[in-house]
Amino acid sequence: MLKYITEQRKLISDYLESRRDECVTAQEIAAALSMTVSKSAVYRNLAALEQEGKVIRVPLAGDRAFGYRYAGSHTCAGKIHISCVRCGKTEHVSSEVAAHLERALAAEDGFSLNKSECMLYGVCKTCRGGASK
């Protein structure tokens, strides 16, 4: 069945794609697109995009809100993400560290990691004042 893509959905998708390695809230999207997309349309379209698998809804640490991350990015595919609970910056875990974590989880706990939905929370180097790990 052919789905009609509204202009609002296209604007929201384009906004998320332009921030493909970030987690953004519905409020941030609504504020950025306030001249063309209503807040209710943002929520409605995010729910539809999540259902279609085009965005991933991520609980934000220390908050009851959710962030949304574009799922169609080739740079994000199969990556573990880390997110700073202070500034909200989201990055990829290096491939080497991710592979080590996957091997350790499999060997020690018999656990297979779903990287497409994996988000780890902590405090980034910048927010720690540049201190080392």
Confidence of residue 73 (pLDDT cuts 50, 70, 90): low
CATH of 7-122, one of 1.10.10.10, 3.90.1150.10, 1.10.150.80, 3.20.20.80: 1.10.10.10
pLDDT score for 72: 66
Confidence of residue 51 (pLDDT cuts 50, 70, 90): confident
- Report the mean per-residue pLDDT for the chain: 83
**Distance (Å, whole) CA 17 – CA 70:** 6
Task: Kindly report the pTM of this predicted structure.
Answer: 0.63
**Distance (Å, whole) CA 100 – CA 106:** 10
